[in-house]
Amino acid sequence: MSTTLDHRPCAIALMGPTASGKSAYALELAERLGGEIVSVDSALVYRGLDIGAAKPSREEQARVPHHLMDLREPWQPYSAAEFATDARIAIDAIVARGRIPILAGGTGLYFRALLEGLADMPHADENVRASITADADLRGWAALHADLAEVDAEAAARIHATDAQRIQRALEVHRLSGRPISAWQREARGARLPVNVLKLVLAPADRAVLHTRIAGRFDAMLEAGFLDEVRALRALPELAAHPHPLDLPALRAVGYRQAWAFLDGASTPAEFRERAIAATRQLAKRQWTWLRGELDARWFDPATQRTELEAAVAAFLPRGGANAPS
């Protein structure tokens, strides 16, 4: 029985670094509890990003309803604000069916947008973005990161010098509004979610275990035809004609960027594998940093703390283990 006095319907957020086992546990929980999975993953919203994004298979999707996957073509934009809106719609519908929303993924910005809200900062401006991209082509993103540090040291400290997407957005917001994006972010507001959320972080206690899982999963992706998947993406007319395909958020997903460069002849097979695994480990490190800031989340090693994890879920859920239909 739930130990909380919050009478809203229940939802479970499964957070964690990449390759930590979130998707498998989400599927297991959803089948056992009568839940539906809401993907909180910025790569899974794109059609055609399947093998390299570890998208649940058709068989897995047939076992349990999944939401917020395959929403956009890889050349189309999709913002965190759009995600928050779409996720709330999905959550409302799941609760109305008397089922439990299980929010599963590792995209911190999406979780923050949904659970905490986003500031009403300026919308994207194609002209400003084109100007920033042209500047980056001439000077490099590291130089633009230095520009950002001059106008918004707080944001620059959080954003890596190679993270073109976030550098571009931070500079864009500053140019459009005259205010640092960090100031906007401190003003984030959001309507209260219609559910009471249990935040669970799944992560191995030993990071070496995660690193081994990352390498093994990437090798399995290669065996499953990941490079053929990227070849199919490269053959899409919209991507083939794009002047800067690797600036698209979809193709910045780890693995895809390195595979694209490999197919351009920029690396050997061994270098490609090494770079893709290293990029995935860097993603996991960034996710770990974000997760440490989730002070109300409970951490479990799914391999060694399964009993404690199950107890936490059982204590949170209402009697009977399901939400009452609305």
How does pLDDT run across 19-61, given as a tens digit for each residue?
999 999 999 999 999 999 999 999 999 999 999 999 999 999 9
Judge whether residue 4 has pLDDT over 60: no
Under the banding of pLDDT at 50, 70 and 90, the label for residue 190 is low
Question: Does residue 184 contact residue 121 with C-beta atoms inside 8 Å?
Answer: yes
Check pLDDT > 50 for residue 2: no
Task: For CATH 1.10.20.140, list the domain ranges present in the chain.
Answer: 126-186
58: how many CB neighbours lie within 10 A of its CB? Answer: 9
Q: What's the first-to-final CA gap in the chain, in angstroms? A: 20
Query: What integer best gives the mean pLDDT of the chain?
Result: 93
Q: What is the pLDDT of residues 119-143, one digit of tens each?
A: 778 888 889 998 999 999 999 999 9
Where does the chain hold its CATH 3.40.50.300 domain(s)?
10-119+196-316
* Candidates 3.30.1490.20, 3.40.50.720, 3.40.50.300, 3.40.140.10; CATH matching 10-119+196-316: 3.40.50.300
Mean pLDDT in residue range 242-270: 96
> What CATH number matches the domain at 126-186, 1.10.287.3510, 3.30.750.24, 1.10.20.140, 3.40.50.10860?
1.10.20.140
Contact, 213 vs 312, CB < 8 A? no
**Tokens matching residue 245:** 């395909």
Residue with tokens 């859920």: 317
CB atoms within 10 A of CB 223: 9
